[in-house]
A and B are shown apart, each in its own frame.
Chain A
Amino acid sequence: MKNIQSTEYAIETKSLFIFYGSFAAVSEVNIKIAKQKITAIIGPSGCGKSTLLRSFNRMNDFVPTSYVTGEILLHGQNLYSTDIDPVEVRRKIGMVFQKPNPFPKSIYENIAWGARINGFKGNMDELVEQSLRSAALWDEVKDKLKQSAYELSGGQQQRLCIARTIAIQPEIILMDEPASALDPISTLRIEELMQELKKKYTIIIVTHNMQQAARVSEYTAMMMISREGQRSGTVIEFDDTKKIFTNPKDKRTEDYVTGRFG
């Protein structure tokens, strides 16, 4: 399969398999994610998109029977080697989920808390403001930082979660359907924000919204169940987003992006 030609890669997988017990949810993934670009992962439900995404920051570790074979390399180092601290991985690779999940604390604390436990010693007010500005939320919340995060709208809460993620200055931000619970305007705000964020961070987004993938990403990985009997998902095509949505090589990608199948 074609890999993306880029000068720099943020993360790379080699013969990656992800298991839940004896079941390989994801098989044989070899992809290189370009640095400071947005890469979308698309594919029908149950093809392993979220599993693959979560493997990038070892979130699957929380599922007791899960394990991986193969490698996920960050700066040439395998994230799953025994000497790696998964907490450190999650600090470098942040995550934003489908449903906004702010802490039941003030807006300010939502950002300060993560930074504090990560040993941040600088000016906290500055960090909070900077993070909120980067998440395009500052102007809307600057006068109510002490209020509960729950008082914000869904779209604002999601941007707060993004601000919280960038407060600990990760290299990569994983987004799992970050806008699927939001209205169209909030969705577009998140998408615009992603374009700003990619100047500093690498973004990998899982989305069911094909137009969103086409709009926001530079590269797209198409996943699909590859071995029917085993129901195991893999990346079947990985290319420039433009190519995937105008002239994909694989018939299955074509059928999926044109809505013939999925």
Chain B
Amino acid sequence: MLRKTFETEIQQLKDDVLLLGSMVEQAILGSVEALKKRDIKASEKIFEEDKQINDKRFEIENKLMILIATQQPMAHDLRLLASCMEIISELERMGDYAKGIANINMRMGDLPLLKPLIDVPRMAQIGADMLHRSLTAFVNEDVEAARSIPIQDDEVDALYNQVYHELMMYIIQDPKSIERANWLLWVAHNLERVADRVTNICERTVFIATGEMKEIKSTDDEFWKQQHQEK
């Protein structure tokens, strides 16, 4: 096989992206788990570990640059490398959401949670699951899977909607709960964004495999329109 070295490096690159993805996945699940248990030490650890995610992203970015400069990728290879650049940046931002959730738990200090967390961990679970599957689809260049994953975003949006309304009720009933409600809202919002970014990863996978650069339609826009109208 011609270009054996390049092939090996591409494989290594995909492994690196997967590794970064699993770091992010752990951070998302861990951050919500720590919040649920009000485990500040665990949150501090996640907050700190975000640096490793950032470092890993820069490391992959650097490898990508070197591959582009030394191998002059074309066609599928070019789409793959360019898309990896995008995907690692999506992953890094998802890591920031996890860090943000960890930060909220730290800032809450001794205050108890406004309400037991039920829907928020479900959002995290679905988001992490979507992320996991989107990266499997990326590695296998599975277009069908990549196109079907974003649909699950609707579930996350529905949960977000539920959490949002619930928290509004708390605020209306007791304005003193505003700050604590706002924290949780922030957490839910971060998780909602995770699912959106998974959609971007799926779009890149379709692009790598087919060359087609197109948004995958989820009902996300509808969701925001509806939110707007309700106000």
> Do A and B make up one complex?
yes
Q: List residues of A whose CB falls within 8 A of some B CB.
A: 210-211, 214, 245-248, 253-254, 257-262
B43 to chain A, nearest CB (A): 44
Assuming the A-B contacts A210-B74, A211-B72, are A260 and B79 also in contact, with contact meaning beta carbons closer than 8 angstroms in the complex?
no
B6 pairs with A246, CB closer than 8 A: no
Neighbouring A residues of B74 by C-beta, 8 Å: 210, 214, 245-246, 257-259
A247 pairs with B72, CB closer than 8 A: no
CA distance A210 to B3 in the complex (A): 15
Neighbouring B residues of A254 by C-beta, 8 Å: 75-76
Neighbouring B residues of A245 by C-beta, 8 Å: 74-75, 78
Q: Chain B: interface residue count, which band?
A: 10 to 19
CA distance A214 to B210 in the complex (A): 20
Q: List residues of B whose CB falls within 8 A of some A CB.
A: 1-3, 6, 72-79, 210-211
Contacts across chains A and B counted by CB atoms under 8 Å:
37
A247 pairs with B2, CB closer than 8 A: no
Q: Considering only CB atoms, which chain A residue lies closest to B7 in the complex?
A: A260
Q: Considering only CB atoms, which chain B residue lies closest to A257 in the complex?
A: B74
Neighbouring A residues of B75 by C-beta, 8 Å: 245-248, 253-254, 257-258
CA distance A259 to B3 in the complex (A): 7
CA distance A97 to B82 in the complex (A): 36
Neighbouring B residues of A248 by C-beta, 8 Å: 75
B74 to chain A, nearest CB (A): 4
Could you list 30 examples of A-B contacts with CB < 8 Å?
Answer: A210-B72, A210-B74, A211-B72, A214-B74, A245-B74, A245-B75, A246-B74, A246-B75, A246-B78, A246-B79, A246-B211, A247-B75, A247-B79, A247-B210, A247-B211, A253-B75, A254-B76, A257-B74, A258-B3, A258-B73, A258-B74, A258-B75, A258-B76, A259-B2, A259-B3, A259-B6, A259-B74, A260-B1, A261-B2, A262-B2
B13 to chain A, nearest CB (A): 15
A211, A258, A262 — most chain B CB neighbours (10 Å): A258
